[in-house]
Structure 1
Amino acid sequence: MGGGMGPGGRGSRISSGDTDRQRELNSAAPSIPDIGRRIAELFRPYRWQLAVIIVLVLLSAALAILPPLLTQRVFDDGLFPVDGGGPRLGILGWLVGAMIAVFVVSSGIGIVQTRYTARVGNRVMGDLRVQLFRHLQSMELGFFTRTKTGVIQSRLQNDVGGVANVLTNTVTNVVGNTVTVISAAVAMLVLSWELTLIALVLLPVLVIAQRRVGRIRAKIAGKTQESLSEMTAITQEALSVSGVLLAKTYSRQSDETARYAAENARQIDLQVRQTMSGQVFFALVQVFLSAVPAIVYLVSGWIIAAAQGEGFEAGITAGTIVAFTTVQSRLLFPLMALMRIALDLQTSRALFARIFEYLDLRPAIVDAPDAREPSDAPGRAGRIDFDAVSFRYPDAAAGDRPTLDGVTFHVEPGEFVAFVGASGSGKTTIGNLIPRLYDASAGAVRYGGDDVRELAQEALMDRIGVVTQEPYLFHASVAANLRYAKPDASIEEIERAAGLANIHDTIAGFADGYDTIVGERGYRLSGGEKQRIAIARVLLKNPRVLVLDEATSALDTVNERIVQHALEDARSGRTTIAIAHRLSTVVDADRIYVIGAGRILEEGTHAELLALGGAYAELYAQQQ
């Protein structure tokens, strides 16, 4: 809102670092166990589908162990029977048929499992994104005046997108690989406990290395997301219509490009560091995976040679060795996958922490437990009272004076009251307190005689309409922008509201009429057209109280007269609070309050205040 000191009057932005840490946080970042519990909670609505997935994973993992065991039987019973003789084709045929059947069944289970996993994982991610969006919608206006829009967008897109793989694949991968590892380890012990010891001897070293790498990657992941947030913020600011226009008019395109390029270079460096931070570890794992089968062959040879030297059977056959190395791959590759998952979880912990930080933000303005509907009784509906109201913006410095200091006034239903004064006097703050965009620091703001803090916010907002100096229009049709106030409005209602706002004939003259696309923020329309569409939108809402915050101050004289005429029609039958800089727009107000330094200096009609010869008379003389 324009005019008086708004929420950004003492620095509406904070640095990207401060924004990212969120000074609004009510508590420390969630702990690791808490993050794990909250991730599990995300899957609660899908627990039955998850149970089906786990069953399918268990079946798939169990079937994965059968081929190596069948391979042993193929060698020792079918191809090279241990009791001598040639290949036993009948047995070999049954064993090969069993192996093919296992592969077919496993593939079918894999298809069904993938479908369930994709549906559950993506729905959980979608729920998380909607939950975060809904929570941000509940935050008070002050949160958004202190936070870059691009940073908020990054939390919704980059951070939630960054945990997509964890949400969609982690459960199935952990369960499947864990079952595979356990069953493979049992099978290896059954085949040869000696070879099993050799195969697993270095695993503790790899686990320790994995945890260290995970901590490093988690730190880099946090910095990477911070950089992505800043890049999104730069993009949102510099490539919006307003940003591009500003850059062009000041010839700062190269500077904006340099600012983006610098953050992009930081992002590239962080991505490379994140990728390389695990490469040495995975190289060690790869060496381990490649070396162990060769070591198994060597140890098997030693055992067989030693057994022959002692004159007894070694218990290790060719089939045992082939089966063991096959099972070993079934063990080591899932182990490597589990280590990768552990790294991903440690990396994703930083992203989940950022998401949960936002979800843990508590709105400064919430409904009271016993919040009630505003009164619509005759004589009360539309009445506005300020009782000794003081207000200080949350980010104001300790030594600063309050924006409002003990302001008291009363507006009867249907009255037209105006607030005038110098910039920074507190006029806009009064307009913000009426619909409870902020709460008074002291005193009470009342609607219909009830403290607005005791009323349901949505019901209160339904009764209040606001027209600001800079109306916001979506990149949509004129009709869609108007229906934002009343989604089920008929075209007749829309045209009636547009007629009252003195904009219907203009819209009808467009090539596409009410289907005309207005462009981003309405840039295809003139200032007067945008303002009158904003007025029509408020009239379609039909509020009992109309707050006009510098509604014509940005317009030229011709458009101001047109819009002022529309506002005169809009005021009819409703309480109107006008926050004005141009005194010519409020000379017919029932009462005018002059605000200075957060206090009411004078009050009266236009004629009374001129006769008083005080601050109002001085402002009027200056403008004349």
Structure 2
Amino acid sequence: MHPAEHHGGPTWTPPPRDPEQPQPPAELRRILRLFRPYRGRLALVGLLVCASSLVSVASPFLLREILDTAIPQGRTGLLSLLALGMILTAVVTGVFGVLQTLISTTVGQRVMHDLRTAVYAQLQRMPLAFFTRTRTGEVQSRIANDIGGMQATVTSTATSLVSNLTAVVATVVAMVALDWRLTLVSMLLLPLFVWISRRVGRERKKITTQRQKQMAAMAATVTESLSVSGILLGRTMGRADSLTKSFADESERLVDLEVRSNMAGRWRMSTIGIVMAAMPAIIYWAAGLALQAGGPSVSIGTLVAFVSLQQGLFRPAVSLLSTGVQMQTSLALFQRIFEYLDLPVDITEPEQPVKLEKIRGEVRFEDVDFAYDEKHGTTLDGIDVSVPAGGSLAVVGPTGSGKSTLSYLVPRLYDVTGGRVMLDGVDVRDLDFDTLARAVGVVSQETCLFHASVADNLRFAKPDATDEELEEAAKAAQIHDHIAGLPDGYDTLVGERGYRFSGGEKQRLAIARTILRDPPVLILDEATSALDTRTEHAVQRAIDALSAGRTTITIAHRLSTVRDADQIVVLDGGRIAERGTHEELLGRDGRYAALVRRDARLVTAAQ
């Protein structure tokens, strides 16, 4: 049974998590570990940030000296030095800012690269069942949208946090040095601001989780409906308008979530901004009342310098609160990425794998059982079959009998749940992945061709293949003449999923690619079942050339392709119902003979 048939059902979804729950320290530490390889550069950024913050708070003190000393006393030289100091402060702060941005952006982009690569590598290791249950658009969305959405966090948020925190601390210290009483007045509302920002952060994080799920759903819709096969289906079924409406509905939901995400807590954060902007007036008012009440006076220079510091405090303070909101929002994206990185990998290489330098190609199934999961029951039960090196085995049976599943066990697309699959006397689970990839080649009904040239598609099997080797493989696969007749020959683009080529031509390209790979064991999984009779004969000649001298396991729907097999196994309900040669099985007049008669009737009806 094909895994897609067996597992047909809902799309894979990760376990639900409550986005409002506080994150465990372990998860926060995991995020910080992403930056560990770049801690040297991050330390340099920290030094630049601290230096920039310390230099920037010098300006108000210089301004106080200008207003209280240089101008009232007419000291022109001191005035010039103080003014020059303010200019140099601005220059140094600007240079430090540019360097800090360059380094932090580079580090952030490297972290994003590491994340993308880690997710891609993890998905490459996932079992085939994962991809039969997960929409392609969902996978693409995790890599593109979720990691892309974290760009602001990993490239600037961390630096912004350090920069603004340092600026706030340095500014507050400077304010205390100028006048602690005015500083106390300025800090009264700080706890309220922190509480508001945390509430806004939790609200936006919850909406962000919903938004990313909606973006994944929309990406999946686009991937499926705007593929070549999706366009063909939509046009021929007259569903183009319906698909457009469905996409519009998905987009409308995303619009609503985007607006909610951007507006969540906007009024509350604006209130913080208004209060912060009004603080200079409050300081002037408080200083004036203190003076009229006979309290300690504050010099004009100190008052102006303090307000200047306070205004300087406004930007990093609001930015710091916004950064906290952004970090809480980004945790939702990190969670979605970590869900993929934490997916269990069922098929792994052993700690001490066996490497076979010379592969003969003997394959044995020893009492093999297999079940996709407990819910669906056993797919294969007690399979015992031996295929000698260079021999041929054909596996036939009704749809859902487990034919394709049996073939997938040899290259370890799945692992057996009982028994063993042996290659040259070694359990395939004990072999290293490179040996297994060199040993087993698969030609399936669904041919995968990339949107690249014919030559590039062929060289996917052997990157260092020469042009002569490509031509020899194409000739053996009965496709060279067709390629040579194309305007660009082997440089011709095959098109998305190979739609510039017919089904038979794609199959022959796949066969040529496998010939280049030159595997000792060949799996032919319904390789000609979707072809017409004339095309099937051409492809069959290519398959015969490919099969020569190799151990061949053929999964067949059309029995005309397996008559010459050394051994034919008939599967029924996951068990071996019959086995023997073509003549032996016909003589028994059992299930195989019934399948042959069925094929004959279908051929007659087609004629």
Given the two structures, how large is their TM-score scaled by the length of structure 1?
A: 0.93
Shift of 1:153: 0.5
Once residues 238 and 317 of structure 1 are traced to their aligned partners in structure 2, the CA distance between those partners, rounded to angstroms, is: 72
- Counterpart of 2:349 in 1: which secondary structure? coil
SS in 2 for 1:470: coil
- Work out which of the residue numbers 10, 17, 41 in structure 2 matches 1:14: 10
Sequence identity of aligned pairs in percent?
Answer: 46
Which amino acid is the alignment partner of residue 324 of structure 2?
A: A
Number of the residue aligned with 2:49:
57
Which of residues 289, 300, 305 in structure 2 aligns to 1:323?
305
- Partner Cα distance (2:199, 2:100) in 1: 33
1:251 alignment partner, SS class: coil
Task: Indicate which of 434, 456, 462 corresponds to 1:458.
Answer: 434
What is aligned with 1:186? Answer: 173
Deviation at 1:211, TM superposition (A): 1.1
Residue 14 of structure 1 aligns to a residue whose secondary structure is: coil
In structure 2, the partner of 1:218 is 205
Superposition map of 1:19-98 within 5 A: 19-21=12-14, 31-81=23-73, 87-98=74-85
Deviations 1:540-593 (A, max 9, x none): 000000000010111111110000011111111110000001010111111111
**What is the SS of the residue equivalent to 1:461?**
helix
Partner deviation per Cα, 1:382-421 (whole Å, 9 max, x = no partner)? 1111111111113x63xx4411111111000000110111
Query: What is the match of residue 598 of structure 1?
Result: 574
Of the three residues 119, 124, 132, the one matched with 2:111 is 124
User: Counterpart of 2:381 in 1: which secondary structure?
Assistant: strand
Shift of 1:344: 0.4
CA shift digits 1:576-624 (9 cap, x unpaired): 0000010101111111111111011111111111111111111111111
Following superposition, the deviation at residue 234 of structure 1 comes to 0.5
The 8 Å contact of residues 35 and 352 in structure 1, kept in 2 or not, is answered as no
Equivalent AA in structure 1 for residue 29 of structure 2: R
Quote the offset at 1:168 in angstroms. Answer: 0.7
In 2, distance between residues paired with 1:276 and 1:237? Answer: 32
Provide the rounded CA distance (Å) in 1 between the counterparts of 2:190 and 2:591. 83
Aligned partners of 2:521, 2:598: CA distance in 1, in Å? 31
Q: SS state of the match for residue 9, structure 1?
A: helix
Report SS of the residue matched to 2:414: coil
Contact 1:177 1:334 in 2 (8 A): yes
Could you say what secondary structure the match of 1:316 adopts?
Answer: coil
How far did 1:453 drift?
1.1
Contact 1:57 1:175 in 2 (8 A): yes
User: How far is 1:171 from its partner?
Assistant: 2.5
Q: Does 1:474 align with 2:466?
A: no
CA contact (8 A) 1:30 1:357 kept: no
SS of match in other structure, 2:4: coil
Q: Aligned pair in 2 of structure 1 residues 458, 142: CA closer, same or farther (>3 Å)? A: farther
Change (3 A) 1:559 1:599: same
Q: Secondary structure at the match of 1:390?
A: strand
1:546 aligns with 2:522: yes
Structure-1 residue corresponding to 2:342:
360
Cα distance between partner residues in 1 of 2:578 and 2:148: 56
In structure 1, runs of 5+ residues without a counterpart are 82-86
1:193, CA displacement in angstroms? 1.1
- Secondary structure in structure 1 of the residue aligned to 2:523: strand
Contact 1:215 1:346 (8 Å CA) reproduced: yes
Alignment deviations for residues 434-474 of structure 1 (CA, whole Å, 9 cap, x no partner): 11100111111111111111111232121100000121101
Letter matched to residue 4 of structure 2? G
The answer for the alignment partner of 2:605 in structure 1 is none
Mapped contact 1:30–1:356 kept (Cα < 8 A): no
Q: Is the 8 A contact 2:443 2:510 kept in 1?
A: yes
Counterpart check, 1:258 vs 2:245: yes
C-alpha contact (below 8 Å) 2:368/2:381 kept by paired residues: yes
Cα displacement (A) at 1:371: 1.6
Amino acid at match of 1:376: K
Query: Residue 418 of structure 1 contacts residue 591 of structure 1 at CA under 8 Å; is this kept in 2?
Result: yes
How much does 1:200 deviate? 0.7
Partner of 1:369: 351
Q: What SS does the aligned partner of 1:178 have?
A: helix
Name the amino acid aligned to 2:223.
Q
- CA distance in 1 between counterparts of 2:486 and 2:448 reads 20
Verify the 8 A CA contact 1:20 1:226 in the aligned structure 2: no
**CA–CA separation in structure 2 for the residues paired with 1:229 and 1:88:** 67
d(CA) in 1 for partners of 2:92, 2:352: 59
- Partner SS, residue 77 of structure 1: helix
SS in 2 for 1:417: strand
Matches within 5 A, 1:222-241: 222-241=209-228
Structure 2 CA distance for aligned equivalents of residues 391 and 138 of structure 1: 20
Query: Whole-Å Cα distance in 2 between the matches of residues 594 and 445 of structure 1?
Result: 18
Deviation at 1:375, TM superposition (A): 6.6
Task: Find the counterpart in structure 2 of residue 387 from structure 1.
Answer: 366
Distance in 2 between residues matched to 1:441 and 1:623, nearest whole Å: 33
Q: 1:373 offset after TM fit, Å?
A: 1.4
Q: How does 1:446-525 map to 2 (within 5 A)?
A: 446-525=422-501
1-side partners of 2:344 and 2:259: how far apart?
36
Match for 1:536: what amino acid? A
List gaps (5 residues or longer) in structure 2: 601-607
Q: Distance in 1 between matches of 2:248 and 2:13?
A: 20
Contact 1:188-1:324 at 8 Å conserved across structures: yes
Check conservation: 2:277, 2:314, Cα contact below 8 A.
no
| Aligned amino acid, residue 43 of structure 1 | F
The aligned counterpart of 1:163 is 150
* 1:389-408 map, 5 Å: 389-394=368-373, 397=375, 400-408=376-384
Provide Cα deviations, 1:361-380, integer angstroms capped at 9, x if missing partner: 12111012122114736xxx
Check the 8 A contact 2:7/2:132 in 1, yes or no: no
- Residue type of the partner of 1:601? A
Deviations 1:114-148 (A, max 9, x none): 21112111111111111111111111111111111
Which of 121, 129, 139 is the matching residue for 2:126? 139
Q: Which residue of 2 aligns with 1:84?
A: none
Amino acid at match of 2:135: K
For 1:601, what is the secondary structure of its paired residue? strand
Task: Kindly indicate whether structure 1 or structure 2 has the higher relative contact order, using CA contacts under 8 Å at least 6 residues apart.
Answer: 1
Counterparts of 2:557 and 2:279, CA distance in 1: 82
Q: Does 1:289 align with 2:276?
A: yes
Distance 1:31 1:278 in 2: 21
Q: 1:498 touches 1:536 (CA, 8 Å); kept in 2?
A: yes
- CA distance in 2 between partners of 1:103 and 1:567 (Å): 75
Asked if the contact 1:227–1:266 (Cα under 8 Å) also holds between the matched residues in 2, the reply is yes
The aligned amino acid for 2:301 is G
Query: SS where residue 6 of structure 2 aligns?
Result: coil
Task: Name the CA distance, whole Å, in 2 between partners of 1:598 and 1:432.
Answer: 14
Equivalent residue for 1:444?
Answer: 420
